[in-house]
Structure 1
């Protein structure tokens, strides 16, 4: 099992935008779906408390939100890549992210990385597994499959220290655990390569839910 020895590597980035959104109803055929995936950027500093950003919400807390999915970050570099692939422009919040970043490889973020942003301290907890609501947001049901194949998942973070943050803040990775369990590796292990699943247990910060899941599915 890997230790929590900090890496000497220094990583910094920039918070380009902070986006929040409440729950809305979306009509899908004869059904009405509740979702909080529509996020819009705000211009003020946003309090980060409990398991959320102020003004943000999720429709189904059994699969979204909570302490291990309190904040979702997506890199502007990945949004730009999607623009080249699709011919569409993706502004801040387009992928349902709260934090749009620049200068950090979020696929390479390690489970347990800690970010100092504004007056908050956030910890990378897990990758993103896309669900059908991403297809609703993109108005393309096939986008979920494309996202699963692209291997650009972003990262979910928990809140270690409450505070506030805003666009233009620096992102300083103040702690890197001594393992190579990245968001991309977790994404690959859960969706494409079961042989990688035992490696997830090398990350001490991996949520208990996923530890139990790996024990059943490795």
Structure 2
């Protein structure tokens, strides 16, 4: 199946802010990334954004971009996330996640849009819920199951 890799795990304690990379993330069923502001019992527990999407912004002249700048929990490489279908199941590290949403509506006053000028999450970011909990770290394989 489709294979990609995890480039970074990112976390923040407040919604709408840039996330900071961490060494590994502990993901809990029906919750998301433990300690992250977006975690909770809802359909957008975990956010993912591809490095390839971030790179598009870089090529448009936006500087200083990297993992977590778009408030994504997981930065990926080698998998075109926004082309997956809702309901797709992904094995990432020791977790199993289900794609619940592609893109999102950007809220006003978003730190990302303010600092970066434009946010790519509304069109190319995806959201998942945790089906099987576990640990994810940079370098882990992402595969569609």
For the criterion TM > 0.5, the same-fold answer is yes
Q: Which residue of 1 aligns with 2:55?
A: 80
Deviation at 1:166, TM superposition (A): 0.8
Q: Which residue of 2 aligns with 1:129?
A: 105
Q: Please, what is the CA RMSD of the aligned residues?
A: 2.2
1:139-182 per-residue CA deviation (whole Å, 9 max, x = no partner) reads 259625xx48xx732100011111111111000111xxxxxxxx
Q: Which residue of 1 aligns with 2:128?
A: 157
TM-score (ref. length: structure 1): 0.60
Higher normalized contact order (CA 8 Å, seq sep 6+, divided by chain length): 2
Return the match for 1:139 from 103, 109, 114: 114
Task: Check the 8 A contact 2:32/2:129 in 1, yes or no.
Answer: no
1:109 equivalenced with 2:84 (yes/no): yes
Unaligned runs of 5+ in 1: 1-9, 24-34, 59-63, 175-218
Tell me how far apart the structure 1 counterparts of residues 10 and 51 of structure 2 sit (CA, whole Å): 13
Distance 1:65 1:94, change over 3 A: farther
Distance 1:90 1:65, change over 3 A: farther
Larger helix fraction of residues: 1
Task: Check the 8 A contact 1:22/1:36 in 2, yes or no.
Answer: no
Tell me how far apart the structure 1 counterparts of residues 97 and 19 of structure 2 sit (CA, whole Å): 20
Tell me how far apart the structure 2 counterparts of residues 104 and 22 of structure 1 sit (CA, whole Å): 27
Say which one has the larger Rg: 1
Unaligned runs of 5+ in 2: none
Give the total of aligned pairs. 143
Tell me how far apart the structure 2 counterparts of residues 122 and 86 of structure 1 sit (CA, whole Å): 33
Question: Structure 1: which 4+ aligned runs deviate by more than 4 Å?
Answer: none
Larger strand fraction of residues: 2
TM-score (ref. length: structure 2): 0.87
1:115-138 per-residue CA deviation (whole Å, 9 max, x = no partner) reads 10111000100122222243x224
